Amino acid sequence: MMKVLVSDSLGQGGMDILRKEKNLQVDERVGLKPDELKKIIGDYDAILIRSATKLTADLIEAGKKLRVIGRAGVGVDNVDLDAATKRGIIVMNTPEGNTISTAELSFSMMMAVARNIPQADAHVKKGEWKRNKFQGTELNGKTLGIVGFGRIGREVAKRAAAFNMKVMVFDPFISKEAVKQYPVEFVDVPALLKNSDFLTFHTPLTKETKGLLNHETFKLCKKGIRIVNCARGGIVDEAALAEAIQNGQVAGAAFDVFVTEPPAADNPLLKLPQFICTPHLGAVTQEAQENVAVDVAKQVIDVLNDRAIRNAVNLPNLDPDTLKGLKHWLVLAEKIGMLYSQLFSGSFKKVEIRYGGDPTRFNVKPLTMAVLKGLLKPICGDSVNFINALAMAKERGISITESRSDENEGFTSFIDVEVVQGKEMHRIMGTLFSNEPRIVRLNEFMIDVVPLGWVLFVKNDDLPGVVGTIGTVLAKNGVNIAEMSLGRVGKGKRAYAMTAINTDSEVPAKVVGLIKKNKLVIDVKVVKL
């Protein structure tokens, strides 16, 4: 008899499915404190959670029998994925269960901010009836700007069409051909801000999307724009939004998410009558809760009964022998994808992957999934996993090719990834040194980089003094160098160098700016691997 622990409230449909399994003992223990959970987690083969339970590394280590962690919802930031992966524990989420609920909330918020519904409701309940205070605007004929055109963004677009709205979209990672059935116009950010009467976000919070709307970009917005954010707090700079509302650039805003939740009492947005908000209700519908509960229950049951693995965020579906042979290569493959996505911004249409040596003893499809997961993570957030990465890439019109090669450039085993981005092509190659992942090529540069933690990449003219300057700047600002690798191409005045530096902490933006001031420096990037 296998044991399953449910440590957060789960929809009844999911509980019913679990309890119907004759080979499962299901214990519902909601509200356990970390020390209480630690005492019992070692008895269970699976644990089902929502957002309340925080599965830290020590709790995962205590789960000696754990095979699977099921998250009823999308975000898995309450699970230490590295710790779970090291233990071979499958972590799975339910990325599709709240699509409709979030799309509907976004549209509801848009209508509420257009017609001042919450303000008018409060007004009447105070015994007043001054209709002229709440003149709104129609959606009919207006332009809706959508940032992010994944599942939720597309559902919002469908509803906008029913309201006779013109829809403009910014999503550099979506192929127009892949979504040609949608009557939308793809534009860049300046055009989106200039033309949108309403603007809604459906993208994860990444380095690229953080503060997408800020003091400067608000100046580009159409005067009187109304803004909806039911995606992630931090995409919109909250202080900048408050200022934009006060000076009349923004007519109103409706948020379901904040940088800090709940928002602090002194958050300037909460004092503005043009701002309406809800307490992160995107997935809080009866239907969404049932959907994710049912999905996670079925997924966990399948894993425990050695059937299909769906929506795993950290491990593909592999038998034990294959997993043992590929697990270090899987880490490397995902790191290559993550490195590319942070070094080279913009859309890409083609990914070519060559495998050589040791990985070719196995089915390389899981490695391809890992590369794609790393590539798509900044675009799709926690919704991308080992199982759906290929489908999500194809959904975006990205072509993927795999090949096996004996051309090793000095390495007996390797993963070599080329990504076509417009008229450019970028190449990243990696291998294992004693089972430790290494990046050994970045475009034309041969390097030796441990893809772990914070890494600073500096490209410069290969002339004396640059490395010394970098080291001095880092030292003066308290950034410690853990490892360093140098690569060089060309000769004489046409020689270029690439310096890759592992640091013990993130390199602050101001420090990056100081490094860029060196006239010999061509480019500087900081990545987190």
Q: Which two tokens stand for residue 87?
A: 């233990």
**Does residue 417 have a pLDDT over 80?**
yes
pLDDT for the residue numbered 316: 67
Helix (H, G, I), strand (E, B) or coil at 429: strand
pLDDT for the residue numbered 397: 82
- Of 138, 216, 261, 444, the catalytic one is 261
Start-end of CATH 3.30.70.260 domains in the chain: 454-529
- Of 202, 226, 232, 354, the catalytic one is 232
Residue 328 a catalytic site member:
no
pLDDT for the residue numbered 319: 64
Q: What is the dihedral of CA 245, 248, 253, 257, to 10 degrees?
A: -30
pLDDT for the residue numbered 327: 83
- Note the pLDDT tens digit of each residue in 384-402: 877 678 877 887 888 899 9
Residue 399, number of CB atoms within 10 A of its CB: 13
- Note the pLDDT tens digit of each residue in 483-527: 999 999 987 778 999 999 999 999 999 999 999 999 999 999 999
**Does residue 129 have a pLDDT over 90?**
yes
Q: What residues contact 475, with CB distance under 8 A and at least 6 apart? A: none
- Note the pLDDT tens digit of each residue in 312-325: 888 665 666 777 78
pLDDT for the residue numbered 520: 92
Q: Measured between alpha carbons, how far is 516 from 69 in angstroms, rounded to an integer? A: 44
Q: CATH number for the 316-443 domain, one of 3.30.1330.90, 2.40.30.30, 3.90.245.10, 3.90.76.10?
A: 3.30.1330.90
Q: Which two tokens stand for residue 275?
A: 């701002």
Q: Taking residues 194-203, report their average pLDDT.
A: 96
| CATH code, residues 99-277 | 3.40.50.720
CATH 3.30.70.260 is right for the domain spanning 454-529: yes
Residue 220: name the closest of 188, 246, 177, 252 by CA: 188
CA 340, 341, 346: angle at the middle one, nearest 5? 115
Q: Taking residues 32-55, report their average pLDDT.
A: 95
- Note the pLDDT tens digit of each residue in 77-126: 899 987 887 777 899 999 888 899 999 999 999 999 999 999 999 999 99
- Note the pLDDT tens digit of each residue in 201-258: 999 888 778 999 999 999 999 999 999 999 999 999 999 999 999 999 999 999 999 9
Q: Which two tokens stand for residue 312?
A: 């795993």
| CATH code, residues 1-96+285-315 | 3.40.50.720
Q: What are the CA-CA distances from residue 71 to residues 48, 88, 506 (Å)?
A: 6, 17, 29
Say if residues 387 and 370 touch (Cβ distance below 8 Å).
no
Percent of the chain with pLDDT over 90: 71
pLDDT for the residue numbered 118: 96
Maximal CA-CA distance, the chain = 82
- Of 123, 159, 280, 426, the catalytic one is 280
Q: Taking residues 44-57, report their average pLDDT.
A: 94
- Residue in this structure with the two tokens 């257009």, named with its chain if needed: 114
Edge-to-edge strand ranges of the sheet holding 399-404: 399-404, 350-356, 414-421, 424-433, 436-442, 445-449
Residue 115 a catalytic site member:
no
**Does residue 303 have a pLDDT over 80?**
yes
Q: Measured between alpha carbons, how far is 415 from 360 in angstroms, rounded to an integer? A: 10
Q: Taking residues 117-143, report their average pLDDT.
A: 95
Least confident of 140-154, 161-175, 398-412, 427-441: 398-412
- Beta strands 143-147 and 198-201: pairing type? parallel
Start-end of CATH 3.30.1330.90 domains in the chain: 316-443
Quickly state the pLDDT bin for 408 (edges 50, 70, 90): low
Residue 488 a catalytic site member:
no
Start-end of CATH 3.40.50.720 domains in the chain: 1-96+285-315, 99-277
